[in-house]
Structure 1
């Protein structure tokens, strides 16, 4: 396979994952034929990359975790710790919407494995953000990553019709709770 073919295959894969992510985030529904059509690829191309619907759902989730974990150091480089954490919470709201859709579509055994797999990188990202704020004195010293995992887990329980009115508001309440007084 030539370098151009490999690049084309990689671009197809990335486009398929992004289209699937958008479908899950907007409607919670994933129809493979619609994903292939929107990505501009044939069914065969989609199935070469993702032999099953579960494979595609798992990759969407893994990509979300990877993107979210990578965002923490970027935000800290550009903002003060509390602002970085607040902006990271903005992204958590998007992540939770996708996570809810992915987990609703996957069998229990698969989603439990994905959930456990995500705790390492996301725990590291949360710890980075919290430690920066603790060092600055703006984040409470008794807060840790596990606290935020537990408290932000409620986002997956929001109904779609209340998402826009509640998700960010609840994350703002959580942010206020971790600030030192």
Structure 2
């Protein structure tokens, strides 16, 4: 894609994320207008509303999973894992906010979550490797989902501290 097409696609996804998480019945025309592009540009990138919703979801998933190696390059392993877990909580919150929009995609027989689990487990595995943790990545993901669904930010922080302590204990380390 040309640079302007990539930029427009990114803008549309960014605006759509905000719109779908804050407005129940936002129109595609309103999303295009907020992104500063014409409706034809939106439809060239996303032929249906559901295609746009799926792209929003997949983009958020990719941002989260792509953050794992970046965090390991810029942080100590424990700090990288904790920062990623904080981002995972934000991702789950966004996914919850997109629930109604995602239901429309699922109703059409598309499974936007098809590759999510494998990508998330891969990212968690990458983050656990330098810690020599014995914790199963899928177990970590399950705990993080439970923490995220709690809804209490203060308690979520405490629960993440417990998750970290458990992971570090399994690696023969102590939490800092």
CA distance in 2: counterparts of 1:104 and 1:169, whole angstroms: 29
* Conserved 8 A contact 2:148-2:156: no
More helix by share: 1
Counterpart position of 1:46 = 42
Q: Which runs of 5+ in 1 are unaligned?
A: none
* Conserved 8 A contact 1:72-1:126: yes
CA distance in 2: counterparts of 1:112 and 1:8, whole angstroms: 29
Deviations for 1:32-65, whole angstroms, at most 9, x for unmatched residues? 2332121111222212211222111110111112
Shift of 1:125: 0.8
* Conserved 8 A contact 1:99-1:156: no
Counterpart position of 1:21 = 17
Aligned partner of 1:10 among 6, 27, 41: 6
* Aligned-partner SS, 1:114: coil
* Conserved 8 A contact 1:68-1:91: yes
| Further displaced range: 143-152 or 165-174 | 165-174
Shift of 1:24: 3.9
CA distance in 2: counterparts of 1:170 and 1:28, whole angstroms: 31
* Conserved 8 A contact 2:85-2:144: no
Deviations for 1:116-173, whole angstroms, at most 9, x for unmatched residues? 3112222111001111112xxxx4x2x1111022112235635xxx465554444333
The structure, 1 or 2, with the larger RCO (C-alpha pairs under 8 Å, 6+ apart) is 1
Q: Which runs of 5+ in 2 are unaligned?
A: none
TM-score, normalized by length of structure 1? 0.78
* Aligned-partner SS, 2:47: coil
Shift of 1:102: 2.8
- 1:56 and 2:45 equivalent? no
CA distance in 2: counterparts of 1:155 and 1:51, whole angstroms: 36
